[in-house]
Structure 1
Amino acid sequence: MLVDSHCHLDFPEFEPQRDDVIARAREAGVGHMVTISTRIRKFPSAVLPIAERYPEVTCSIGTHPHYASEERGIPLPDILAYTRHPRVVAIGEAGLDYFYDKSAREDQQTVFRKHIAAARQTGLPLVIHTRDAEEDTAAILTEEMAKGPFKALLHCYTSGRALAEAALELGLFISFSGILTFPKSGELRELAASVPLDRLLVETDSPYLAPPPYRGKTNEPSFVRFTAKVLAETKGVSEAEMERATTENFFRLFAKAKVAAAQVGDGAT
């Protein structure tokens, strides 16, 4: 079984075909998917109903850095309240995006730290988005980890070696998406080869970043297998070993998701 640790099943690209997308994921051996929150205010109506409907799907709660200014005022207790739902297995995605700068950097940092606090208090893993903000991301993670431990992963990793090494030193996991499979991603594959096998996850970040042979089309969870295949080749292990490792790593990090998956195995809905 493979796990798609990061997808956006609430996005409009999936609206007319969500049942078929989930069915294709099952057929491809993708046994679990996490649909990731980008706006807390839309979570109850957009994200949570999907996780409640499909047994193989769980979700996160959080604010993407693009919307940090919009949701800066949401208090930490409100985030914590949502985490009590049995289908909520992670915090985020939250972090820093200095490439688009759609929210003020101060707001991004404030919201990022608030989500770290939520991860620390709940024990749920924080899903981190970072783009063109390596130094500030590493600094905040280091400062916050010194205040008390929390679990986290850097999703859809495309940053440099310095941030990867800092994150691994802090005990974080690193997830790779379809970008790893792109022809021009040689440097990223070299970096992925250096990440310990027990810290790796795979994801689609769908509906974006479809890997070959679907490049340019709508990405979906079933395509995570193509990323896992290239990651296995990059690490010099078999596809079966990569499947086993990334799935075990996922359930070790997303411990609450393991409970949800067990319920599916027992026939619960």
Structure 2
Amino acid sequence: MTIRHALNQAAAALSSISDTPRLDAELLMAHALGVTREQLLFQHLDAAEPPAFAALLARRVVHEPIAYITGSRAFWTIELLVGPAVLIPRPDSETLIEAALAHFTARPPATILDLGTGPGTLLLAALSEWPDAHGLGIDASDQALDFARRNAAALGLTDRARFQLGDWASGLEARFDLILANPPYIGTAESLPRDVAEHEPAAALYAGADGLDDYRILIPQLRARLAPDGVAILEIGATQAGAVTALLEAEGFAVALARDLAGHPRAMIAT
């Protein structure tokens, strides 16, 4: 069977479980071939289907996320290694990097703190924008920190990015120009797609009945960790702007909202 034909069949098989069945099929096929998706589409469509493709497709059919199958995910301008121990980076989180760039127009941040760094997503994306900045990523998972360190090495950022085990900002003494955080914010009773609920780590998703438990811990820690004129930018769920704003204002912050590309509330900017 040609790759062209195999892609058509795979997209049909995935149509009931994915919003992007053709894209999924192409990404899996490119991974099976060891080429980029662009190379696949321009150079390989009439070649024979590679033997590895069927096994990759079988994993996707049972809702395993594409990023876990291929072992990587693009975020902002960087590529990150990922696996089942870490939350998969999502385009919505790029809103935090956009908000940070908009805030630091007059001067770049020199120091960056990423709370709940996972595979280093926000910290490494930010450091890629500001080549003179240094940063620290904190996570409660040793496995996540292993991915973060591997990603820093792959991106040539080991001299500017440090990672350590921790409980949000507890125990830290340094102050930072920019604090980024994408904490768990899903309520425990909320339903999630099978790709997420059955595969991504629950500790990185759920935060109590209302999804606010981790904000209640980390927000009171922020002021002491911010440098003068610093900013904290937190990701939120699309319905949480009011609740998180109230938590931030109770700590004396002025708060602004940033929306994602779909127009949903996505980041709180606290100064």
TM-score bucket of the superposed structures, by smaller chain: 0.3 to 0.5
Relative to the length of structure 2, the TM-score reads 0.32
Relative contact order: is structure 1 or structure 2 higher (C-alpha 8 Å, sep ≥ 6)? 1
Relative to the length of structure 1, the TM-score reads 0.32
Mark the structure with the bigger radius of gyration.
Answer: 2
